[in-house]
């Protein structure tokens, strides 16, 4: 495994322009109420919670709803024209004098109700093994259970578990990011003492920047794609905020742990940051 200049890479992550991935806006941003409705509906059918989209949206994304699948009902707004507004019993008046009412409509399906090829194949590296890394770090990968398809993954609080969206644009980068949240103490499951101890007390912008910077270094070291999108994510969260020197040290330590944990048949890695 090559030994890149992590100091230089981190400086690039903070200063070189990046691109905010379109993966965060592929799906509609459903309201909390509709996400709960979808959750209850799927649970009543004995189905797991997974990303939801309309029939036409799944088609646009290259997937088709399986024959015989029953659509999920969600609440959607319908605006009545002014001449019909007098007959509405309830609703919200619109700017043109009409009235918006909310109705249940069945037009949505979960990922598990569709079929088709995976969105993106998971990229692997001949130098790093996911299963070995997770076992070494005592972190378990669990099924993704969210209706929000724009969420790429998450790290659970209080338990060393991570989940990656099955339609994540860059699942390898997302995995590094979520593992980093645990190692950095952002979920209160990191090191009890030392440099990682106060991770959960940091502002969210710093926590997200730390986790993504860790993923950035891992991807760069293993030669995996996603660098431009990673820089965009980091800079978007920081939004002009300074990235502390302490955070840099934390990121170097977390990336080193992840890479060593999954190293395949290689001698212990000495990071170039010292």
Residue 256 lies in a domain: yes
One domain, residues 95 and 214: no
Question: Residue for token digits 């905010």?
Answer: 20
Please, is 266 exposed, middle or buried when counting C-beta atoms within 10 Å of its C-beta (0-12, 13-18, 19+)? Answer: exposed
pLDDT per position as a tens digit, 31-60: 889 989 999 999 999 999 999 999 999 998
Q: Are residues 86 and 161 in the same domain?
A: no
Residue 273 lies in a domain: no
Per-residue pLDDT band for 267 (boundaries 50, 70, 90) equals: very low
Q: Are residues 248 and 137 in the same domain?
A: yes
More confidently predicted of 62 and 211: 211
Identify the band that residue 132 occupies on the pLDDT scale cut at 50, 70 and 90: very high
Asked if residues 182 and 162 have their Cβ atoms less than 8 Å apart, the reply is: yes
Task: Report if residue 52 sits inside a domain.
Answer: yes
pLDDT at 119 over 70: no
One domain for residues 198 and 234: yes
1 in a structural domain: no
Q: Assess whether 100 and 144 both reside in one domain.
A: no
Same domain, yes or no: 54 and 170: no
Same domain flag for 17 and 41:
no
Q: Find the range with the poorest average confidence among 119-133, 138-152, 170-184.
A: 119-133
Both 17 and 136 in one domain: the answer is: yes
Structural domain for 46, as ranges: 31-60+64-115
For 194, phi then psi, to 5°, come to 85, -160
Q: Quick: pLDDT tens for 206-243.
A: 999 999 999 999 999 999 999 999 999 999 999 989 99
Q: Is residue 270 part of a domain?
A: no
- 221, containing H or E segment: helix 204-222
In a 3-state reduction of DSSP, which class is residue 63? coil
Give a yes or no: residue 269 inside a domain. Answer: no
Q: What is the DSSP letter of 263?
A: B
In a domain, 268, yes or no: no
Write down the pLDDT at residue 120.
59
180 found inside a domain: yes
CA angle at 154 for the pair 66 and 109, rounded to the nearest 5°: 20
pTM: 0.81
Domain-terminating residue out of 115, 137, 154: 115
97 lies in the same domain as 129: no
* Percentage with pLDDT > 70 across the chain: 82
In this structure, the answer to whether residues 129 and 101 fall within a common structural domain is no
Q: What is the pLDDT of residue 266?
A: 46
Same-domain status, 141 and 176:
yes
Same structural domain for residues 252 and 205? yes
Cα separation, 45 vs 104, whole angstroms: 18
Residue 93 binned pLDDT confidence (cut-offs 50, 70, 90): low
**If pLDDT is split at 50, 70 and 90, which confidence band does 62 have?**
confident
Domain count for the chain: 2
């Amino acid at each position: 495994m090559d030994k890149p200049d992590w100091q230089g890479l981190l400086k690039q992550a903070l200063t070189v322009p990046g691109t905010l991935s379109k993966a965060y806006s592929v799906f509609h941003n459903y309201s909390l109420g509709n996400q709960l409705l979808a959750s209850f509906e799927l649970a009543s059918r004995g189905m797991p919670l997974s990303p939801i989209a309309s029939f036409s949206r799944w088609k646009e994304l290259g997937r088709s709803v399986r024959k015989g699948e029953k659509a999920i009902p969600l609440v959607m707004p319908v605006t009545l024209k002014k001449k019909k507004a007098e007959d509405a019993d309830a609703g919200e008046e619109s700017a043109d004098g009409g009235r918006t009412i909310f109705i249940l409509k069945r037009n949505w399906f979960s990922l598990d109700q569709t079929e088709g090829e995976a969105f993106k194949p998971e990229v692997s590296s001949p130098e790093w093994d996911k299963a070995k890394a997770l076992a070494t770090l005592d972190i378990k990968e669990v099924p993704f259970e969210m209706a929000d398809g724009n969420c790429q993954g998450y790290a659970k609080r209080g338990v060393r578990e991570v989940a990656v969206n099955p339609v994540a644009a860059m699942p390898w980068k997302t995995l590094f990011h979520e593992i980093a949240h645990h190692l950095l103490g952002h979920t209160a499951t990191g090191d009890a003492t030392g440099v990682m101890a106060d991770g959960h007390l940091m502002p969210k912008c710093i926590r997200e920047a730390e986790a993504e910077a860790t993923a950035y270094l891992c991807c760069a070291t293993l030669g995996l794609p996603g660098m431009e999108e990673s820089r965009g994510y980091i800079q978007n969260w920081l939004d002009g905020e300074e990235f502390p020197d302490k955070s840099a040290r934390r990121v170097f330590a977390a990336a080193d742990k992840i890479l060593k944990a999954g190293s395949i048949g290689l001698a212990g890695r000495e990071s170039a940051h010292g």
